[in-house]
A and B are shown apart, each in its own frame.
Chain A
Amino acid sequence: MNKVFNRIESITGNVITVRANNVQYKELAQINTRFGKSLAQVNKIEGDIVSLQVFAGGQGVSTGDEVRFLGREMRVSFSEDLLGRIFNGSGEPRDKGPALTENMKPVGGPSVNPTKRILANRMMRTNIPMIDMFNTLVVSQKLPIFSISGEPYNQLLARIAMQADADVIVLGGMGLKYDDFLYFKDELSQGGALSKTVMFIHTASDPTVECMMIPDMVLAVAEQFALQDKDVLVLLTDMTNFADAMKEIAITQEQVPSNRGYPGDLYSQLAARYEKAVDFANSGSVTVLAVTTMPGDDVTHPVPDNTGYITEGQYYLKGGRIEPFGSLSRLKQNVNGKTRKDHRALMDGMIRLYSSYKETLEKKNMGFSMNKWDEKLLKYGSLFESKMMDLSVNLSLEQSLDLGWEILADCFEKDETGIKSDLTDEFWPK
C-alpha cells in the first residue's frame, strides 16, 4: 500500500518535489536521508509533481533518497500518558520516555461551531495581581503577551504555568533558545507543575518546518483534554517565530508576499490557531496565552498587528512589568463584577491614581516644584510599582485587593481616592 519513490526532482530550501500519483493533499511521507529518517508533508500537487516540506530540513537531502508516502495525515497520540512528557514538532519524544503511538488524533482539525460555544464567564486565577486584579484572564480567552526581545516573558509564562488554576498545561516552544527550554523544564519540575504539563518544544537550532507544526500539535492535544472536561491552559512562545517560519516556507515556494514578506494568509493562519480557544458547553475549555515579540518594539509590525485583531486584548510586558496602560483584557467585565464587590472600583481607582502619578513624575522630571498632593502621588506610585507590579509578587486576588487598600491608606485620605464612600467605609484599613 505504501508507495516508495527513489527519485527527488528538485530540492529548494526545505521543500522537495517528487513525481508521484495518487497522493493526497497534506499527506505525510517519510524520507530516508543519510542523516536519518524525517517526516515530510505534501503542501502542493500539480499533476504528478508533488511538493513536500521536509520536517528535518532540506540540508543533506539527496536526489536519490527514498520517499515513502504513509497514506495518512499529521496526527498526534493522545492519552493521559502525555502528561509530564516533552515532544518535538514531529511528535517524537524529546525526553527519554517511549514514543507514543496509541489513540492517534488528527491535528489542525475543523473549527468549533460558534453556536456550540458559551459565553466566557469564568475567571482563571494566576495569582499575579497585574493579571487577576487589573486585567483578569478569563477561561477560554486568547491573549498575547506583547513584548520585545530581552524581556522576561518566558519567566512570566513559567510562573503562570506554575500558579494558574488550570487542570492541564500545554506548553509550545517555537524557536526557543536551548537555555530557555532547560529553564522551563527545571522551573516546572521544581515547581511541581511538570506532572500536569505537556511540552512540545522546537528550539532555535531545530528545522524550520517543525516550528510550524508546534501550535497545531499543542492545540490538538489541548482540545482533546478539553473534550474530557479539563480546563486547559495553552502557553505558546514565541508566535513571531511561528509567523517567520511560515514566511520562510512561503517565500521558498515563490508565493506572492503581502506585507513585509509575510504570506497573504497570515491573518487566517494565526486566527485558525488562536480561535481554538474555546469554552465547550458542559465540558472543558482551552485558554491561550501566547508570547508575541514585537520586532523593534513596533506594534504595527504585521505579526503583533494581525494578532491584536484576532485576540481578546493583550498584555504588554515592558521593563519587566505588565504595563497597566497598554494591557487590556477585553473579557474582564464578564467576570470581575462577581469576584468581590470592591474589585472594579478599586481597579479603576488605583489605575486612575497611577496615571496621575505618571503625569506628576513627568512634571518632576521637567523640574517643576512638587506640592503636597504630588508628594502623595509619588509615594503611591513607588509603592504600587514595588508591591503590585513586580513580577515576583505572588498573591491571591483577595490578598491583592486587601494590599491595594493598604497602599491607598498608606498614601491618601479616604476622599482623595475618588472611590465611592460606601466602599471606602467598608474596606478602608482601620
Chain B
Amino acid sequence: MTVNTGKVVSINGNLVSVEFQGNVSMNEICFVKVGGTTLKSEVIRIRGNIAQIQVYEMTDGIKCGDDVEFTGDMLSAELGPGLLGQVYDGLQNPLPVLAEQAGWFLERGIYADGLDYEKKWEFTPISKVGDTLRAGEYIGTVPEGPFTHKIFVPFNLLGKYTLKSIVPKGEYTVKETVAVLTDERGRDVSVSMSFKWPVKRAVKCYSERLAPVEAMETKVRLIDSFFPVAKGGTYCTPGPFGAGKTVLQHTTSKYADVDIVIIAACGERAGEVVETLTEFPELTDPKTGRSLMERTIIICNTSSMPVASREASVYTSVTLAEYYRQMGLNVLLLADSTSRWAQALREMSGRLEEIPGEEAFPAYLESYIAAFYERAGYVRLPDGSTGSVTIGGTVSPAGGNFEEPVTQATLKVVGAFHGLSRERSDARKYPAIDPLISWSKYRSVIDSKKSEYCKKMLHHGNEIGSMMKVVGEEGTSISDYIIYLKAEMLDAVYLQQNSFDLIDANCDTLRQRYVTDKLINILGSEYEIDNKDDARSFLNRMRQKFIDWNYTEFRSDAFKKVEAEIDTLYKEKNGNLGLDAETLLKDGE
C-alpha cells in the first residue's frame, strides 16, 4: 500500500486543514510532521480535497506546507492481556512509560505502545484444530492478576473461520502468533493475543442484549436502597462544584461490587488522579484479596492535557470496558466528567464553524451522549455466559443549573439520576444526593415497598419542614412535628454516610436490609410523647444510637450491643408499631 500524504494549508488552534491526494476516510488517523516530531491527529471533516483534522497535541510551530501522512486506520485501542493496573492517557499511551522517556512533562509527539510487547504470558489453548469460530469467541486463556483473561478471535474478523493451527500451552508475548484461522474462502489469518479495535465503534460480539435487572451494589445506602444502579445500567451524577461528585465516584470505585473498574478522569484535576494512584495500590479488593489496582484501569486526560485527546479518552475507556465484558466479567466505567468531554466537542465544533446549538454546544451533542451511554449493557455472550458494562458519568453543569444542555441530554438516556445539591453539601450532608429530585428505574436492593415508604416519609417531612419555615414551630401540630423529626432522623442515619470510615462506607445489601427493617420499625411506631421538646430529645437520642450503630461491624458484639440499646430506648417510650409499617415488615418476610 502506498502512503497517502497531504500538506497543511491552514491552522486554527488544534484544527488543521490538509490538502490531500488519493482517498481519505472519516476519523482516519494521520500524523503531521513538524520539526523533528510527528503529531497524531484525526480526520473530522472532508470537503473536496481538503481534510480537516484535529491534532491531539499542541499545534505550535506547524507551518503551511508541512507534510501530513495518513495511516488508513481509525483511532484504535490495543486490546490484550496487560491492560489491568495501567495508567493511560486518552490515546492509550501508558503514562509511566512516557515519564521514563520524557521526564517531568508530557512532551508532544512521544507515543508508546498500549501493551508491553516484551512480557510473556502463560497461554492455554481452548479451541482445537478444526473448530469453527467467529469473532468474539475464545481460543485460549491467560491468567491476568486475579482473572482468567480470555484470548479472542479478533472482533474485526467477519464471518466464519476454521482453526487451522494453534500453539501448545506455553509462554508467549502479545505479538506472537498463537493460532492460524482459515476463512470461508480458504485464506489464512494469523492471530496473536492482542488486536486493535476502533474506539468509536461499539463491540457487538454478543448473542443478545438483556435487560439490566441485577443490582450493582455500590455500598452507598442512599444509592442501593433508594436510587439503585443495575449491572449493565447507566446513571449520571450532576452537581455543582464542591458538592462531592468526585468523592462519591472515588468511593464507588473502591467498594462497588464489580469485577473491573475503569476510571476515566476526563478533563478533571490531575491531583485527584494522583490521589487514586497513591491510594489504590495500598488497598485490598475485598472480593479477591489482592491490590485494588489489579482490578482497575485509569484513563486520565486531565484538564490541562490536549483537548482532542480528552474527547477520545471516553471512547478509549468504554472500548476497554467492552473488551473485558466479552470475557464474562462485570465492568464499571466511571467517567468524570462528561461535561468536559462535551466541552471538547464544543471547542472543535466552534473551530469548524458549525452552526451552534444551545449554549454553543453542537447540535449532535444529544446523539453523541446517547450513543456513548448506549454502549453500556448486560449481554449474553456466544458461550452462554453473561457480562456487563455499567456506565456512571458525572456532569458538571455550569452554575450548578440542571437545565443546561449536557445534563438534560444525559437525563434522557440514563437509567438513574443522582442529583447532588449545593444545600446538602453546604450542610455537610454527604453524600449530597438530593433524595427529593433523584430517581432510578432499576430495582432496589431492599424491598421496593419499603424503599417507597421511606421516600414518602422524606417527602412528607420536607413538606412539613417548608411549612414550618412559614408558621414556625409553634404553629405546627405535634403529630406533624414528629413526622418532621422522623424524616430528619432517617436522613441523618441512613442517607448520610461517612465515606472516610471503613465500616460505614462499606454497607452491603444484607446490612442495608437489616437496618431498614429496624428503621421502619422505629419510624413507623407511635410513642408516648406529650410535647415537642420531649419528641426532639427522644429522637435525637435515637439518632445518636443509630449513628453509633453505623460505625460498628455488622453482626459483631458491638453491633448487637448498640442494637439492644436501641430496643431498650424503644421500650422506654412504649413504642407501638403502626399498621402500615407492620404490614410492610410482614410482607418482606
Q: How far is the CB of B419 from chain A (nearest CB, A)?
A: 17
Residues of A within 8 A of B438 (CB): none
Contact assessment for A259 and B360 in the assembled complex, using a CB-CB cutoff below 8 Å: yes
Mask, A287-310, CB within 8 Å of B = 1, is 000000000000111100110111
Q: Which of A24, A114, A255, A267 contacts B61 (CB 8 A)?
A: A24
- CB-nearest residue of chain A to B356: A256
User: By the criterion CB–CB under 8 Å, are B350 and A264 in contact?
Assistant: yes
The B-contacting residues of A in range 237-289, CB under 8 angstroms, are 255-259, 263-265, 267-268, 271-272, 274-276, 280
* A45-B64 in contact (CB<8A): yes
Please report which residues of chain B, range 261-276, place their CB below 8 angstroms from some CB of chain A when the two chains form the complex: 267, 269-271, 273-275
A242 nearest CB across to chain B (Å):
16
Selecting from A104-112, A160-168, A402-410, A413-421, the interface stretch reads A104-112
Report yes or no: B270 in contact with A305, Cβ–Cβ below 8 A: no
In this assembly, does A23 line the interface, its C-beta being within 8 Å of a C-beta of chain B?
yes
Establish whether residues A305 and B399, one from each chain, have CB atoms under 8 Å apart when the complex forms.
Answer: yes
Inter-chain contacts of A24 with B (CB < 8 A): 60-63
B104: contacting residue among A44, A227, A268, A302, CB under 8 A: A227
**B474 beta carbon closer than 8 Å to chain A:** no
Structural contact, B400 and A267, CB atoms closer than 8 A:
no
Would you call A113 and B64 a contact (CB within 8 A)? no
In the complex, chain A residues whose CB is within 8 Å of the CB of B353: 256
Contacts of A331 in B (CB 8 A): 271
Q: Are B61 and A111 in contact (CB under 8 A)?
A: no
By the criterion CB–CB under 8 Å, are A114 and B270 in contact? yes
Which residue of B60, B95, B350, B398 contacts A305 across the interface (Cβ within 8 Å)?
B398
A375 to B302, CA, bound (A): 51
Q: Mark A19-33, 1 if CB is under 8 A from B, else 0.
A: 001111111000000
Residues of A within 8 A of B99 (CB): 113, 115-116
A392 CA to B115 CA, complexed, in Å: 57
Q: Which of B65, B108, B277, B399 contacts A115 (CB 8 A)?
A: B277
Residues from chain B with Cβ under 8 Å of A310 in the complex: 269, 303
Contact yes or no, A114 B300, CB < 8 A: yes
Instruction: Decide yes or no whether B304 CB sits under 8 A from chain A.
Output: yes
- Contact assessment for A73 and B104 in the assembled complex, using a CB-CB cutoff below 8 Å: no
Is the beta-carbon distance between B307 and A111 smaller than 8 angstroms?
Answer: no
Binds A, one of B340-348, B566-574, B576-584: B340-348
- Given A24-B60, A25-B60, A312–B105 Cβ distance below 8 Å? no
B102 close to A113 (CB less than 8 A)? yes
Give which listed residue, B103, B270, B361, B399, contacts A117 with CB less than 8 A: B270
CB pair B64 A48 closer than 8 Å:
yes
Q: Are B11 and A268 in contact (CB under 8 A)?
A: no
Q: Mark A29-61, 1 if CB is under 8 A from B, else 0.
A: 000000000000000111110000000000000
Residue A4 at the B interface, CB < 8 A?
no
Evaluate contact between B98 and A264: CB separation under 8 angstroms. no
Query: Which B1-52 residues sit within 8 Å CB-CB of chain A?
Result: 9-13
User: Which residues of the partner chain A approach B344 to less than 8 Å between Cβ atoms?
Assistant: 268
Would you call B95 and A115 a contact (CB within 8 A)? yes
Alpha-carbon distance between A313 and B350 when the two chains are bound, in angstroms: 30
CB distance from A302 to the nearest CB of B (A): 7
Q: What is the chain B residue whose CB lies nearest that of A333?
A: B500
| B window 56-75: CB within 8 A of A | 58-65
Once A24-B60, A113-B99, A267-B340 are accepted as A-B contacts, the answer to whether A44 and B11 lie under 8 Å apart by CB is: yes
Chain B CB within 10 Å — which of A109, A264, A310 has the most?
A264
Task: For B267, give its contact among A22, A26, A271 (CB under 8 Å).
Answer: A271
A309 to B343, CA, bound (A): 13
Q: Which residues from chain B contact A46 at a C-beta distance below 8 Å?
A: 9-10, 12
Q: Indicate if the CB atoms of B350 and A275 lie closer than 8 Å.
A: no
Residues of chain A within 8 A of B65, CB atoms compared: 21-22
Within 8 A of A (CB), among B88-125: 95-96, 98-99, 102-108
Q: Out of A114, A306, A312, name the residue touching B273 (CB < 8 Å).
A: A114
Distance to closest chain B CB from A220 (angstroms) = 12
Kindly list chain B residues whose C-beta atoms are within 8 Å of the C-beta of A302. Answer: 398
Question: How far, in angstroms, from A306 to B12 measured CA to CA in the complex?
Answer: 24
Question: B106 contacts A275, CB within 8 Å?
Answer: no
The answer to whether B12 and A309 have CB atoms under 8 Å apart is: no
B194 at the interface (CB under 8 A from A): no
- B12 CB to closest chain A CB (Å) equals 5
Beyond A22-B63, A328-B242, whether A113 also contacts B98 by CB under 8 A is yes
State which residues 285-326 of B face A: CB under 8 Å: 300, 302-305, 307
Query: Are B104's CB and A114's CB within 8 A?
Result: no
Contact assessment for B11 and A300 in the assembled complex, using a CB-CB cutoff below 8 Å: no
The reply to whether the CB of A118 lies closer than 8 angstroms to some CB of chain B is yes
- Please measure, in the bound complex, the distance between the C-alpha atom of A119 and the C-alpha atom of B282, giving whole angstroms: 14
Do A73 and B61 touch across chains, with their CB atoms under 8 A apart?
yes
Tell me whether B241 is interfacial, beta carbon within 8 Å: yes
Assembled-state Cα–Cα distance A265/B360 (Å):
11
Q: Tell yes or no: A120 within 8 A of B by CB.
A: yes
Q: Known interface pairs A113-B99, A119-B278, A259-B360. Does A73 touch B60 (Cβ–Cβ under 8 Å)?
A: yes
Instruction: Answer yes or no: B218 CB below 8 A from chain A CBs.
Output: no
Instruction: Name the one of B241, B275, B303, B399 contacting A119, with C-beta atoms under 8 angstroms.
Output: B275
Residue B396, interface by CB 8 Å = yes
Q: B401: CB under 8 A from chain A?
A: yes
Contacts of A44 in B (CB 8 A): 10-12
Cβ contacts under 8 Å, A26 to chain B: 59-61
Also in contact, A114 and B241, with CB within 8 A (given A44-B11, A309-B396)? no
A272 smallest CB distance to B (angstroms): 5
B331-355 vs A, CB cutoff 8 Å, 1 = contact: the mask equals: 0000000001001101101100100
Q: B64 is contacted by which of A21, A140, A276 (Cβ under 8 Å)?
A: A21
Chain B residues near A325: list those with CB within 8 A: 426
B589 interface residue, CB < 8 Å from A?
Answer: no
Most chain B CB atoms below 10 A, which of A110, A255, A325: A110
In the complex, whether B230 has a CB less than 8 A from a CB of chain A is: no
B530 at the interface (CB under 8 A from A): no
Instruction: Tell me the residues in window 323-349 of chain A with beta carbons closer than 8 Å to chain B beta carbons.
Output: 325, 328, 331
**Is the Cβ of A22 less than 8 Å from the Cβ of B105?**
no
A25 touches B307 (CB 8 A): no
* Beta-carbon nearest neighbor of B59 in chain A: A25
Query: Which of A22, A114, A265, A276 is close to B347, meaning CB atoms less than 8 Å apart?
Result: A265
In the complex, besides A111-B270, A118-B278, 10 extra interface pairs with C-beta distance below 8 angstroms are A26-B61, A109-B105, A110-B58, A115-B96, A117-B274, A256-B356, A259-B398, A271-B267, A309-B241, A312-B271
Closest 6 CB pairs of A and B: A300-B399, A271-B303, A275-B304, A258-B360, A308-B241, A111-B304
Some 30 contacts from A to B, beta carbons below 8 A apart, are A21-B64, A21-B65, A23-B63, A24-B61, A44-B12, A45-B63, A47-B64, A114-B273, A116-B103, A117-B271, A118-B278, A120-B271, A255-B350, A256-B353, A258-B356, A258-B359, A263-B350, A264-B349, A265-B13, A267-B303, A268-B307, A272-B304, A276-B304, A300-B401, A305-B241, A305-B400, A306-B398, A308-B240, A309-B241, A312-B271
